[in-house]
Each structure stands twice: as structure tokens, then as C-alpha cells.
Amino acid sequence: MCHVLIIEDEPLVAMNIEMMLSEIGATSFSFAMTEDEAVIAAHEHPPHLITSDVRLMDGHGPAAVRRIHEELGPMPVIFITASPHDCDPDDPSTTVLVKPVSSEAVTAAFHRLVPVP
């Protein structure tokens, strides 16, 4: 079982990410459009993986991820963004993909970051 938190303020992009991940093994999803919504969603159902845009309608994806990691501990992250220069992927469990993103890139990142049972 793999629960994913998708932090994305464009609904069609979020649905596309959900579709790609569900085809390769993710089993449940939470969605957030703002930094605060992301932190709340992570507490309500702790994710095994986070995907996040950088610039959100309110707040920033990297700030949401940082808060979630501080409060719930580390978990893998895939940033899917048009602003890759605003990410700091120092953590080996973080990948940055540039929009528009291909399903092959998402699949490769997912399989690299999420252990398969």
C-alpha cells in the first residue's frame, strides 16, 4: 500500500499525477492546493510519498515539505515544477522533475524512491 500526498494548485495537473501514480502502484491519495492544506492533509493521512509543485496559490511546496518532515519525519519527495531552481534537492530521497513531465520520468522517480513490497 502506498499513500501519496499531491501538493498541486492546478486540478488537472493533480489529476494527471494521480493517474500516472495509480497506474504504477500508488493506492490512495490526498490532495492539497496550499502550503497549510498540505500540512493538514499529511497529519490526517501520513503519506509514503509526497509530490509537490513549488509555487502554490498560497505558500510554497518546499516550505510545506519542510514542515511535514519536521513534524512527521522524513519521507520521499518528487517535486514536479516549472521552477526547478526554487528547489534544493540535497536529500537523496528527493527528485526534481520539470513540467511538463512525462509518465516515464514519474515512473522512474517513483520506483527509485518508493520501496516495492
Residue 31: give its domain's CATH number. Answer: 3.40.50.2300
**pLDDT tens per residue, range 2-55:** 999 999 999 999 999 999 999 999 999 999 999 999 999 999 999 999 999 999
**pLDDT tens per residue, range 86-96:** 876 667 788 99
pLDDT at site 116: 66
Q: Specify the range with the lowest mean pLDDT, choosing from 10-14, 56-60, 69-73, 84-88.
A: 84-88
pLDDT at site 59: 95
pLDDT at site 86: 83
Choose among 83, 17, 43: nearest CA to 6: 17
Residue ranges making up the domain that contains 11: 3-113
Number of domains within the chain: 1
